[in-house]
Amino acid sequence: MAGNSIGTQFRLTSFGESHGEGLGGIIDGMPSGVAVDLDFIQDELNRRRPGQSAIVTQRKEGDRIEILSGVFEGKTTGTPLAFLIRNENQKSKDYSHIKDTYRPSHADYTYDQKYGIRDYRGGGRSSARETVARVVAGAFAKLFLKEEGISFTAFVHQIGHLKLTKAYAELDLAKAETNVVRCPDPELAVEMENFVKEVRKDGNTVGGAIQCVIQGLPAGLGEPVFDKLHADLGKAMLSINAVKGFEYGSGFDAVTMKGSEHNDTFNSDFSTQTNHSGGVQGGISNGEDIYFNVAFKPVATLMQKQHTVNVEGKTVEMEGKGRHDPCVVPRAVVIVEAMAAITIMDHFLRAKSYQ
């Protein structure tokens, strides 16, 4: 229970460090007979890839996937899908300066406390580079769920003070993928892009929020007590690096609402007139869209001088080296989708046991 697996019936176990041989994982529980669209999987990886635009980290990684098992003549066989993405552009010497230093708001100190040893190169296992495995598993889940008419669309909802004000239903979400920020409002996207560039110029970083919409889900998915559908989605999102909060449907706005405002009245086909519930009632999907927001903190590595301590508790001055994102949300969009797809896939397969 060392926590490197997620899911039950569809389970990803991931491995790898930022500056080790590579990263990857094993997907156990992928149904057989699914055509493996490698181009789609690679496209998904490219949405997360470093170096894809001027506002993300400039580390050069091809992030080429090698599938090691579980595919025969282009189709999944039902056996484990193992995959590997080799690291190509490690610059480990960029990190020698932090070997004995605990960077503020990084996991250096906590890893040392837990393990007594730490691969300090690029944060080792604590690097967000680990999420590459999630994107692959999410892509496999999407391949299967697409056939069931289920789609996942995430986009940047907020960066710093710049926030989308329209509801997702009023927007053309496809536009999110037409700009480097991944915001479906093109004008706001430009503002966001300029803001991120400004922040980066200062050697600073900034937080952001992503919204995700799941559409086409049938009613009846999810387990009603501890493994509520939204609880598993929440855990999946909170397990992504830098995430600080999760809300679905009305979310934190529900706190100030009255029941008479919040209740979603049924239509005669059991759809609802409003969707404050966010597509889930009692932990089980009701057939409406599921939508949720995910809050990301600003990246902890700054290109500014900071004071911190070394492993002996002595104050030292440090300044970020290496290649870092000034704001993670543009690249995190596909990770949010992937974690959503992994979670829904798991519950989709679990639900089949009852039908």
Residues between 106 and 125 that touch a copy of itself (CB under 8 A): 106-107, 109-111, 113-119, 124-125
What gap in Å lies between CA 29 and CA 8, rounded to an integer? 8
Shortest Cβ 36–a copy of itself spacing (Å): 12
Q: How many CA atoms lie within 13 A of 288 on its CB side?
A: 23
Residues between 15 and 74 that touch a copy of itself (CB under 8 A): 15-17, 20-26, 28-29, 31-33, 66-70, 72
Residues between 205 and 244 that touch a copy of itself (CB under 8 A): 205-209, 219-228, 230-232, 234-236, 238-239, 241, 244
What gap in Å lies between CA 10 and CA 225, rounded to an integer? 20
Piece in contact with a copy of itself (CB under 8 A), picked from 142-150, 167-175, 179-187, 345-353: 345-353
Rounded to 5 degrees, φ, ψ at 6 are -140, 140
Q: What would the x/- binding string for a copy of itself be over residues 274 to 293, using CB under 8 A?
A: --xxx-xxxxxxxx-----x
- Give the end-to-end CA distance of the chain in Å, rounded to a whole number: 30
Asked if 182 and 333 count as a contact pair (C-beta separation under 8 A), the reply is yes
Q: What would the x/- binding string for a copy of itself be over residues 300 to 319, using CB under 8 A?
A: xxx-x-xxxx---xxx----
- Spatial strand order of the sheet with 315-319 comes to 101-102, 305-310, 315-319
Tokens of 206: 């900034």
Q: What would the x/- binding string for a copy of itself be over residues 181 to 200, using CB under 8 A?
A: ------------------x-
Binder among 55, 65, 81, 136 for a copy of itself (CB under 8 A): 81
Task: Examine residue 201 and tell whether it contacts a copy of itself (CB under 8 A).
Answer: no
Tokens of 63: 């992030």
Task: Examine residue 180 and tell whether it contacts a copy of itself (CB under 8 A).
Answer: no
Tokens of 227: 């493994």
Q: Which is nearer to a copy of itself, 34 or 139 (CB)?
A: 34
Tokens of 299: 């990246």
